[in-house]
Structure formats: C-alpha cells, structure tokens
Amino acid sequence: MAAQDAAVDSLRDREIGVEQEHLDRVYHRLEEKIDEAEFLMHDAVKRGQVGTPGALAERDAQVFRAGVHLNRLNNEFEDFLFGRIDLLLGKDGERGPDGAFTSVEPADDAVRPDHTADIAETLHIGRIGVLDSDYAPLVIDWRAPAAAPFYRSTPKEPGRVVRRRVIRSKGRKVLGVEDDLMRPELTARLGGGTLPVIGDGALMAALGQARSHTMRDIVSSIQAEQDMVIRAPAASVTEVSGGPGTGKTAVALHRAAYLLYQDRRRYAGGILVVSPTPLLVAYTEGVLPSLGEEGQVAIRAVGSLSDEAAGVEGATTYDEPAVARVKGSSRMLHVLRKAARGALEQPGAQPASQDGQLSFGDEEPEPARSAGTPTRLRVVAFGARVELEADELQRIRNNVLSGTAPVNLLRPRARKLLLDALWSKSSGRGRYTDPELVAELRSSFDEDVSTETPFLTFLNDWWPELTPRRVLATMADERRLGRWARRILNQGEVRRLARSLKRLDSEGRGPLSVHDVALLDELQTLLGTPHRPKRKREFDPLDQLTGLEELMPQREETQWERAERLAAERTEYAHVIVDEAQDLTPMQWRMVGRRGRHATWTVVGDPAQSSWSDPDEAAAARDEALGGRPRRRFTLTVNYRNPAEIAELAAKVLALAMPGMESPVAVRSTGVEPRFEPVRDRDLAGTVRAEARRLLTEVDGTIGVVVAMNRRAQAREWLAELGPRVVALGSLEAKGLEYDATVVVSPAEIADESPAGLRVLYVALTRATQQLTVVSGERDLPDAHGVPDLLRE
C-alpha cells in the first residue's frame, strides 16, 4: 500500500514538474512582453521631448498603448494559468486563428478499433491569452472559443477532450494538479507514454474549501450548464433561473467578463450589475478584477443606484414590511405624479397683502419673503400697479401643468404666462397700435419685470425648483399625502407611509431607506433637471485621444472608486445584469429599467427566494422594464453550495413556500446533519453565542448568524466579542451570501415577519457550505428533538 502511495506521489510530482515547465515558459514570455511595454513607454517619453504637435500625439498614443498593456499584465500575473485540456485530432483538421483545431468532434479515425488514441493537441487555459514569439498559443484566454471544451466537455459528451486538468498555482509556482477523464474507456498516448491521471477532479476540492468574506471566481471549474449561460450570445434578454447555490451570481459575473472579451467596443458603454444589498456588492467585488476585468463594470446595490442616494453605501436601512410593500408597489407611481406637481404649493401662505409684492422701479420697499406659496403677484409698471390675484395665479398654474412635461422644466413656461398675464393688464398694452412699437414695449416690459429681484423671488416661491428629496419630504404631511393618494392608497397605508418619511427634514435630508431610493429616482424623472450651461473646460490636447481615460486606469484610483465614478457619469448602460432579480419591487424595476433602455440584459433569479409580497405585480413591472425584447431562458439545476443534508431540510420550507417547486440537486454530502437547539426565549442570547463559538472550532472559515430583521442590532451585540469570522445578519441581508456554517435563529420569527416570510426563511436556511444549526425559540414550538414546527415533515 505504501509503495502504491509513493508511486502516486511521484507521478503527481512529475506532472507538477511538467506544468511548472510550461508555467516557466509563460512567465518568460510575459517578462519579454513587459520589457517591450516598458521600452515603448520610455521611447514614447523621449519622443515627447521633440515637442512638435505630431510627436506629442504620437507619444500620447504610445503611452496609452503601453499603459494598457502593463496594467493588464500586472493585474493578471497572479495565478492566471489554471487549466489544460488534452484533445484528440479534430474532424476536419482545420485550425482557428489561435492555432487550435476548430472542430468540436474528433476525426473519424482519431480512436483506433482497440480503443487506443493519440493526443493530438494540448491547450493551456488561463485568464488571458499569451502567444509565444512565433505566435503559437502558450495560454488560451478562458473566454476564447478554443477554451470552451474545457468547460463544456462531460464524460457523456466528451467531444475531443480526453483529459481535463485543473492546475493550482501561486505566483510562479505550480502547487498541484487535478484531472478528470472525459473518455475513461480510452488508452490515450501522449509523447510516447500513457496519459497520466491525477486526483479525483477539481470541483469537489473547490467546493470543500473554507469560505472567506469575499467570493472567489469559479473560472477553473465552471460546469457545462453554467458555461452555456456564460457564453450565450448577448441578444436581447437572457433569463437565468435556478435554486440556491446553483451559481447564478457567479455565472452572472463571469458572463460580464465574457461579454467584455467578446465585444469590448460594444460594451464600452458599460455593464451595470445590480445587486440587492451592499453586503452582496462587497462580497462579489473581487470576482471581476480576478478575471482581468475592472472599470467597465459597475456593481451597485439597488439602494445606491440613484444619484439621489449617491454616497459610498447608499441607503441601507429597511422599512418595516408593511411600509416597504407600499413604497415598492407600482401604485406609488400615481401618487408620486401627483406629489411632484402638488409639492409646488407650500402650505403656510401669508395673508395676501404681504405676498409676493413686486415693485417696478424704486417706489416701494422690497417685500419680506413669505414662508408659503404666495397668493398674489403685484408689480408697478409704467407708473401703475398691476396685480394677479389668487384665482388668476391658479389658472396659470393649471394651464402650465396641463401637459406631462417634468415639473422643473415647466418653469420657463410658467414665467412666460405670468408675464403675459401681467402685460395684458398693464397700461402699456393699449398705448400704441403700431405692432412694432407694441412688440418693443412688450420686450422692455418683460426684461424689466423679469430681471427684478422681487419678481424672481416671487417666481422662486411660487414655482420653486423642486428636488426629489424635497418632494419626498412633503409626503410626510399626512393630510397632503392623503390628497395625492386618494383612491390609490388606503388610509392605513397613507398613515404608515407618511410616518416613515418623518425621518427626513423639510429639504429631505436624513437617512433613506432602500425603498426610498426608487421613489427618489422616479421623482427625478418626474421633476426633470433644468439645463444649466456647463463651464467650459480648458483645452486639453489629451482629449483628442478618445477613450484614453476610459481604457487606461489610473494607478491611484481603486476599482471601487473607478466604478463609482463611471457609474456617476453614466445614466444608461450597454448591458444590465440583475442579480437576485426576484427581489426587485415594481418601483425598483422602473429605476433599473431606465438604466438599460437600449441595453441587452442578463436577469438571474429564483422566484422561491423572493422577499417581495406580490410576485405578479413584480412580474408585470419586470415585463415593462424589459419591454417586448425576445428572451432566452436557462435553468441551473445543481446546488454547489449546500451539502445534501442541509438542502434536504431547506426543501421542507420550499414545499410550504412554493408547493410543487423543485429543489436543485446538491452535488455533495458531508454526513453532518443540521443541529437543532431549542431554547427558552430568555436564554436566546447565550445559546446563540455558545453555538457560534462552538462552530468556530468546527469550521475554518466564516459563520453567519441569521436573525429576523428586528433582532439585527441585538444579535450584533450578542456576537460582538467573537471576532471577524462571525457575522450577524438580518434575514434580508443574508441574500446571496454564504458561510461555512450558519446559525438560523427562530425560523418562526423570520417567517412571520412579512407576507413573503417563508421564502425569506428558505434563503436563510440555504447559506451554509458545511454546517447548519437551527435555534428555536418558544414561538417555534419545537418537538422533543428541538425541531421547530415549520421544519417538521
């Protein structure tokens, strides 16, 4: 036995040595390329010293190319070679531009009748493609067509692949190799010897690794059904559904990298990835840079999508479910339309005599500014007083508002109609009959009236420029909100909504909830931003190189800052990826839809994990956002996260939440059953803490403790002393995340928290990669084994 082990070890060492040799060649080639790039840089700087405009432009172009080159090489130097495939001869013997055979199928005579065959081609796969100096492929980019068999080949449909190898390396050192045989029936020969096979495949090794607080890429172990989605043509809308842990988020991010590789020019318009929470954004942020992509892709939480919520974190507070339900509903659109117009009028108007008086000339003192909307406009023109009374002002307002244009953009029209009305009453009007003289008089009337501070003050008060935040703040007034929401929301809804907005001051400053953000974004559209002339920039010769800034990331800017800046500059994207799409409310769909009106889309989600109470309403909003574009649908069926023992328990909740819905198949089993800990409510804190502490000794990575939303703060206190490996999460925050072990506290509390509570509980139960403990309180009615009522057969 020992002799056999030693033989396996020496074979493994030999194969590691083979791959090491290849990696050395690759590094050698990369170093040559870096030298070339550095030479280009220096050469370019020298040319710049010539000083002629032509030489300057040439220098800039060279610096640009060399910079891009260096940036890519430096980024992708670490651990970028990860795979290898050994293939049979291709059917027609044709080769593509990268030197690889193009045919997926083997040649008819590739396999001899005695089941022996020769390896005709070996390809190494990595994060970028590297060509040798004679243009032979040393590494094939994982996104290139020639790399597809690495992902697509299965023992059932092997194509030309005989052996698939995953190479584990760190920096310049190969640490290990794991092989999968796709054609185990063959005796294949390579370089005069039999093709060796090491290990039992890389997937299980990858799945068994401890988790950290950031997601890893899966580039070396993408599975065939996932690869179909990643490489699906970017036509219209690609919809991907699949249960928990099927790799939807991973696939969506790899797809972004693939699309950029396929058509960088097309996606220069940017790719937006919409995530449900800032926690998931932080968790996934490293994946794209590890795939060699950054900058072009903005990953944003839905709570920080609108400029109105701009800031590092955006909105992170959650409304109670009944309020969230109102704010997310598409009925809010009708309320907001009314509010955007109604908010022009501010309550608390002063008596008419003090309101908005205007002196034309110097005869009268400037009036005091009113607190509310002025109800009278008075000017003195051509020696006579001209007034517009409340009813006339109202008529003008109604007239201006009769269209659908954004309110702030209507201000010039309001101003014009005010001047028309004043003019029609002024003595100047009847003074002349000659049309030319009348026109001249009118124009000097307009100029004089409209540039006087008091008129401007009146206009500012009577037709103020509204900000979305200010309008939202006016909705905290229950009486006014009730008027705008008549026949749209019921009284209870109005009361709850108004109360939730009392957090904001009169200008709308204050903490925003996640659901407020979509309301602000809608208001932004309803109000419009008045055009303001931009300050002219000084001429910069670098501007002539279009795309320079876009393509050459600056060293001092982090990936996060860059994505933020680009996102802030963009209002629309070329491709929009929506992760956890089942959670977007109708109002959020409208917000996301505005960012992809001309985009192609990838929408991934799982209806069984939806925390939105009215799936039909959300589906209608989603259809509206995606328009009539054709859709391609994919389903992922294998759960790579949860061991079978945990998946089985979660399936019980799925049966309650969505009867008839199928669970994905768990790909592995650990033999460790979920634990149940019944507890008296008063002992909850101690038990949860003790359980988290126990799990710290059981698993190497992270531990997530999931509680009902209203216990969040409490749970953080319980666990404060346990260090960074333990994280306390509200049920809605657990979305998309995963931990080595999880403690789910009181399933009944989580399920009772909202109408979608059972689906939220399903999410909570499917976060662990190794171990799960369910702590049941009194409300969970645990049986003798501690199993709560909701999780029994």
Ligand X SMILES: Nc1ncnc2c1ncn2[C@@H]1O[C@H](COP(=O)(O)OP(=O)(O)OP(=O)(O)O)[C@@H](O)[C@H]1O
Q: Can you give the binding site for ligand X, defined by CB under 6 A?
A: 203, 206-207, 216, 218, 221-223, 226, 242, 244-250, 606, 609, 640-641, 736, 738, 766
* Sign of CA pseudo-dihedral 543, 548, 553, 559: positive
Minimum CB separation from ligand X for residue 144, in Å?
A: 19
Residue 623 CB-half CA count within 13 A: 7
Minimum CB separation from ligand X for residue 205, in Å?
A: 9
Minimum CB separation from ligand X for residue 650, in Å?
A: 10
What is the rounded distance in angstroms from the CA atom of residue 646 to the CA atom of residue 658?
Answer: 18
- Whether 701 has a binding-site annotation, put simply, is no
- Whether 243 has a binding-site annotation, put simply, is yes
Minimum CB separation from ligand X for residue 645, in Å?
A: 16
Whether the CB-CB separation of 222 and 206 falls below 8 Å is answered with no
Instruction: Kindly state the tokens that stand for 212.
Output: 């950290």
What is the rounded distance in angstroms from the CA atom of residue 765 to the CA atom of residue 745?
Answer: 10
Nearest CA-CA partner of 276 in 763, 608, 733, 596: 733
Looking at beta carbons only, is 180 or 780 nearer to ligand X?
180
Minimum CB separation from ligand X for residue 149, in Å?
A: 16
Instruction: Kindly state the tokens that stand for 775.
Output: 């702590």
Minimum CB separation from ligand X for residue 702, in Å?
A: 12
What is the rounded distance in angstroms from the CA atom of residue 159 to the CA atom of residue 423?
Answer: 84
Looking at beta carbons only, is 388 or 577 nearer to ligand X?
577
What is the rounded distance in angstroms from the CA atom of residue 229 to the CA atom of residue 46?
Answer: 48
Minimum CB separation from ligand X for residue 767, in Å?
A: 7
Strand partners, 178: 166
Looking at beta carbons only, is 407 or 763 nearer to ligand X?
763
Looking at beta carbons only, is 474 or 642 nearer to ligand X?
642
Looking at beta carbons only, is 57 or 206 nearer to ligand X?
206
Taking the CB of residue 399, how many other CB atoms lie within 10 A of it? Answer: 13
Looking at beta carbons only, is 66 or 222 nearer to ligand X?
222
Minimum CB separation from ligand X for residue 679, in Å?
A: 27
Minimum CB separation from ligand X for residue 180, in Å?
A: 12
Nearest CA-CA partner of 417 in 386, 394, 448, 384: 394
Q: How far is CA 415 from CA 93, 327, 410, 450, in A?
A: 76, 34, 9, 8
Looking at beta carbons only, is 223 or 359 nearer to ligand X?
223
Backbone angles phi, psi at 31, to 5 degrees: -60, -40
Looking at beta carbons only, is 242 or 643 nearer to ligand X?
242
Q: How far is CA 232 from CA 225, 240, 253, 461, 632, in A?
A: 11, 11, 13, 55, 9
Looking at beta carbons only, is 223 or 746 nearer to ligand X?
223
Looking at beta carbons only, is 166 or 567 nearer to ligand X?
166
Total residues belonging to the chain? 793
Q: Can you spell out the DSSP letters for 572-618? A: --SEEEETTGGG--HHHHHHHHHTTTT-EEEEEE-GGG---S-HHHH
Q: How far is CA 272 from the centre of its chain?
A: 6
Looking at beta carbons only, is 522 or 645 nearer to ligand X?
645
- Whether 248 has a binding-site annotation, put simply, is yes
Whether the CB-CB separation of 223 and 750 falls below 8 Å is answered with no
Instruction: Kindly state the tokens that stand for 351.
Output: 């008596």
Looking at beta carbons only, is 62 or 221 nearer to ligand X?
221
- Whether 593 has a binding-site annotation, put simply, is no
Q: What is the dihedral of CA 479, 481, 486, 490, to 10 degrees?
A: -90
Minimum CB separation from ligand X for residue 82, in Å?
A: 12
Minimum CB separation from ligand X for residue 516, in Å?
A: 25
- Whether 627 has a binding-site annotation, put simply, is no
Minimum CB separation from ligand X for residue 282, in Å?
A: 14
* Secondary structure (H, E, C), 696-728: HHHCCCCEEEEECHHHHHHHHHHHHHHCCCEEE
What is the rounded distance in angstroms from the CA atom of residue 646 to the CA atom of residue 771?
Answer: 8
Strand partners, 177: 167
Whether the CB-CB separation of 241 and 633 falls below 8 Å is answered with yes
What is the rounded distance in angstroms from the CA atom of residue 511 to the CA atom of residue 488?
Answer: 26
- Whether 48 has a binding-site annotation, put simply, is no
Nearest CA-CA partner of 82 in 229, 221, 198: 221
State the DSSP code for 141.
E
Q: Would you list which residues are annotated within the binding site for ATP?
A: 242-249
Q: Would you list which residues are annotated within the binding site?
A: 242-249
